[in-house]
Amino acid sequence: MTIRSQLLKGILDGCVLAVIEKEPVYGYELSKKLQKVGLEDVSEGTIYPVLLRLQKNKLILGEIRPSESGPNRKYYSLTSAGKVTLETISLEWNQLSVPINALLSKGDETIES
Amino acid sequence: MKASELIEQNNQKRALLTEGNEKYYTNLLLYIRTKLTLSEQQSEEVLMEMLDHLIEGQQEGKTAKEIFGNDPKGYADEIVSQLPRENKRNSFIFMGEIAVNIIGWFLIMRSIIIPIIGGEASEKVYVISSLLLIILIMIMTAFGVKMIFGLISQSSFDDKATDKKMMFKAGLYGAGGFLIIAIISFFVKEVGPSFTLPWQISFGIGSLLLLVSWLIKKSRI
């Protein structure tokens, strides 16, 4: 496993919740959207264990209904608990990312100098 | 959508897969479906999602390996670990259905054998030994199903496993089980209270039980 995918694993739940918050999506759509924002390392299949876990924890709700293109798809939407969790994850991420950015970018400078 | 409808759709849609993708997917499917303690509904839903995903990916030229990774067993284990368990009520109904079915067949077999053997003695039912035998058959069936599903599950991602080897193991189990039942029923034949159950009545009750188990099955799926 690359370092990037290891880092991603911890925060993937948050990314999936964030995509679902914008509008209900089905699995294939979700993986497309994650790739579109630049998370190309996420192997497409990875989302299914994540979706199952989020459903089990009642953070999202899956519902099978007809899609625009015709066939039935399982669409996921956020539950109220999911919204709360997403807010918490965003908050925690911000608290972590600022100091880590500062620290790791500084590290680069030391090597360069 | 019910699990039975999803299974039906799954069978049709699998035909759309290319040979390599079909093999990869079918292994995942067998592995997940043979985990008997998992919720059937949730298993079938995620299997359908993965199949839909694979079909869409295939149209873009992607392979199952690219979508689900190089380690199908590891991936399947991850899915299995996140799937919820079947609720107790459903498992109980399912086991009840099988029990009724087994007792039904037991009575019908008896009604076939009695006229062949003949004699009034064979129409006697010894309560304790009959109960013992039925319970034994049920336990053997449960273990048999568990073992065969375990075999399928194990061999899902094992290229070296052959159908012949599996059939041999399953056959060996069947023969062994039969032998045990035969030996035990020979020794515990005539003890305890008994009553006479003519083969016609045995046949009638047996048929009724089979009908009941069929009705339970119909209502279940």
Q: What domains can be seen in chain B, in order of their start residue?
A: 3-82 (1.10.1900), 88-220 (no CATH)
The model's pLDDT over B20-50, given as tens digits with 9 standing for 90+, comes to 999 999 999 999 999 888 999 999 999 999 9
Contacts of B48 in chain A (CB under 8 A): 74
CB contact under 8 A, B68 and A73: no
Residue B13 contacts A where some CB pair is shorter than 8 Å: no
pLDDT value of residue B182: 84
Q: Is residue A112 over pLDDT 50?
A: no
CB B105 within 8 A of CB B203: no
Q: Is residue A109 over pLDDT 60?
A: no
CB B57 within 8 A of CB B175: no
- Cβ-nearest to A48 among B46, B56, B84: B46
Contacts of A43 in chain B (CB under 8 A): 66-69
Mean pLDDT across A60-76: 87
Which residues of A make CB contacts under 8 Å with B?
Answer: 26-28, 31, 43-46, 48-49, 51-53, 56, 62, 64, 71-74
The model's pLDDT over A19-47, given as tens digits with 9 standing for 90+, comes to 999 999 999 999 999 989 888 777 889 99
The model's pLDDT over B147-160, given as tens digits with 9 standing for 90+, comes to 888 888 888 887 77
Chains A, B: CB pairs < 8 Å: 55
CB A35 within 8 A of CB A19: no
pLDDT bracket for residue A73 (50, 70, 90): very high
pLDDT value of residue B121: 66
ipTM attached to this prediction: 0.83
- Cβ-nearest to B1 among A27, A43, A72: A72
Q: Is residue A5 over pLDDT 80?
A: no
Give pLDDT < 50 ranges for chain B: none
Å between B147 CA and nearest CA of chain A: 27
pLDDT value of residue B113: 86
Architecture of the CATH domain A3-112: Orthogonal Bundle (1.10)
- Cβ-nearest to A49 among B1, B67, B79: B79
Q: Where are the domains of chain A?
A: 3-112
